[in-house]
Structure 1
Amino acid sequence: MSMTAPPAPEAAPLHAYRAALLWFAPDHTDAHGQPAPRYEADGLLVVAWDGAVAGGVWRVRAVGAYRDLRAVYPDVAVTHWPGRLIAPGFIDLHLHCPQTDVVGSPAEGLLPWLERYTYPHETHCADPAYATEVAGVFLDELQRHGVTTALAFASSHPVAADTLLAQAHQRGLRLMAGKVLQDRHSPDGVRDATEQSLTDTETLIQRWHGVGRLGYAITPRFAPSCSDAQLRGAAELAARYPDVWVQTHVAENLDEVRWVRELYPNDRSYLSVYQRFGLLRPRAVYAHGIHLDEDDRALLRDSGSAVAVCPSSNFFLGSGCFDFASADAAGCAYGLASDIGAGTSFSPFHTMLAAYAAGRSGSVAAGYAKLGVSLTPSRLWWLHTAGAAQALGLGGVVGSLCVGSEADFVVLNPQVTPLLARRSAQAQNLEELLFALIVLGDDRAVERTVLASGNFAA
Structure 2
Amino acid sequence: MTAPARDFSPVVVHSARIVVPMTAPPILDGAVAVQSGRILHVGERSWVLDRLDASGLRSSERHWPGAILPGLVNAHSHLQYTGMASVGEGSYDGFDDWAKSFGAVYSGPHDWAAEAARGAELSIVAGVTSVSDVVTDMEAASALGDAGLGGIAYWEVMDWENEAWSERGRDQILDELTRIPADPGVGLSPHAPYSLDVEPLLELPDIVRQRGLCLHLHLGESAFEGERGMEPGGSSTGDSAAGGHDAWHFVGVPSFRALRELGFGASATAFVDRLGVLGPDCHVAHGVYMTADDRALLRARGTTVALCPRSNAVIGLDPPPVADYLLEGSAIAVGTDSLSSSPSLDPLADVTALHLIARSQGYARHDLHERLLTAATLGGAHAMGLDVGPDRVGHLAVGARADLAVFDVDARTVPDAYAELVEDGAGRCVATIIRGVVRHQKEPT
TM range (shorter): 0.7 to 0.9
* TM-score between both structures, scaled by the size of structure 2: 0.79
CA contact (8 A) 2:15 2:62 kept: yes
1:47 to 17, 29, 34: 34
Gaps of 5+ in 2: 1-6, 229-255
Distance 1:410 1:266, change over 3 A: same
- Show CA shifts across 1:234-261 (max 9, x none): 13312322x3121111112324547856
Q: Is 2:141 the partner of 1:165?
A: yes
Deviations 1:127-166 (CA, angstroms, capped at 9, x unpaired):
7x711111111111111111111112122x3x2xxx3332
Q: Residues of 2 paired with 1:228 and 1:264: CA distance?
A: 15
Which residue number corresponds to residue 431 of structure 2? 448
- Partner residue in 2 for 1:60: 39
Q: Aligned equivalents of 2:215 and 2:115: distance in 1?
A: 23
In 2, the alpha carbon distance for the partners of 1:327 and 1:438 equals 18
Partners in 1 of 2:364 and 2:310 — Cα distance?
A: 17
Match for residue 384 of structure 1? 376
Query: Does the aligned pair in 2 maintain the 1:63–1:403 contact within 8 Å?
Result: yes
Q: Which residue of 1 aligns with 2:177?
A: 205
- Name the SS for the 2:271 alignment partner: helix
Give CA deviations for 1:422-456 in whole Å, capped at 9, x if unaligned: xx3xx76212223223333433x222211117596
State how 1:39-438 maps to structure 2 within 5 Å.
Answer: 39-40=27-28, 42-49=29-36, 58-74=37-53, 75-100=57-82, 101=84, 102-114=87-99, 116-124=100-108, 130-155=111-136, 157=137, 159=138, 163-183=139-159, 196-208=168-180, 211-212=182-183, 214-241=184-211, 243-257=212-226, 262-263=260-261, 265-266=263-264, 268-340=266-338, 341-362=340-361, 376-396=368-388, 397-414=392-409, 424=410, 429-438=413-422
CA distance in 1: counterparts of 2:408 and 2:275, whole angstroms: 47
User: Secondary structure at the residue paired with 1:343?
Assistant: coil
CA contact under 8 A between 1:172 and 1:453: conserved in structure 2?
A: no
| Larger Rg over CA atoms | 2
Q: Which runs of 4+ in 1 moved over 4 A?
A: 192-197, 258-261, 263-267, 371-375, 453-458
Q: 1:361 to 1:15 in 2, by over 3 A?
A: same
Distance 2:194 2:266 in 1: 16
| Residue 24 of structure 1 pairs with residue 9 of structure 2 | no
- 1:118 CA drift (Å): 2.0
Deviations 1:41-93 (A, max 9, x none): x22211222xxxxxxxx221111111111111024322322434221110111
Distance in 1, matches of 2:105 and 2:382, equals 33
8 Å CA contact 1:94–1:337 kept in 2: the answer is yes
Report the TM-score, using the length of structure 1 for normalisation.
Answer: 0.77
- Mark the runs of 5 or more structure 1 residues left unpaired by the alignment: 1-9, 29-36, 50-57, 186-191, 364-370, 415-423
Deviation at 1:353, TM superposition (A): 0.6
Q: Is the 8 A contact 1:98 1:121 kept in 2?
A: no
Structure 1 pair 384–195 and aligned structure 2 pair: CA distance change class (3 A): farther
C-alpha separation in 2, matches of 1:206 and 1:184: 19
Q: Identify the residue that residue 53 of structure 1 maps to in structure 2.
A: none
CA contact 2:225–2:268 (8 Å) conserved in 1: no
Counterparts of 1:170 and 1:385, CA distance in 2: 22
Q: Per the alignment, do residues 282 and 23 of structure 1 end up closer, same or farther by CA in structure 2, a change over 3 Å counting? A: same
- 1:375 and 1:108, CA in 2 relative to 1: closer, same or farther beyond 3 A? farther
CA RMSD of aligned residues (A): 2.9
Alpha-carbon separation, structure 1, partners of 2:406 and 2:314: 30
Q: CA–CA distance in 2 between the matches of 1:329 and 1:412?
A: 28
- Which digits, 9 at most, give the CA deviation of each residue in 1:271-304, with x for residues without a partner? 1221232211112111111222232222211212
Q: Name the CA distance, whole Å, in 2 between partners of 1:292 and 1:434.
A: 29
1:38 is aligned to 2:26:
yes
The one-letter amino acid of 1:399's match is G
What residue is the counterpart of 1:54 in the other structure? none
Contact 1:359 1:373 in 2 (8 A): no
Equivalent residue, structure 1, for 2:236 = none
SS at match of 2:386: coil
Q: CA deviation at 1:457?
A: 7.8
Structure 1 residue 194 displacement after superposition = 7.3
CA distance in 1, matches of 2:117, 2:366: 37
CA–CA separation in structure 2 for the residues paired with 1:374 and 1:290: 24
User: SS where residue 134 of structure 1 aligns?
Assistant: helix
Q: Percent identity of the aligned residues?
A: 22
Does the 8 Å contact 2:155/2:177 carry over to 1? no
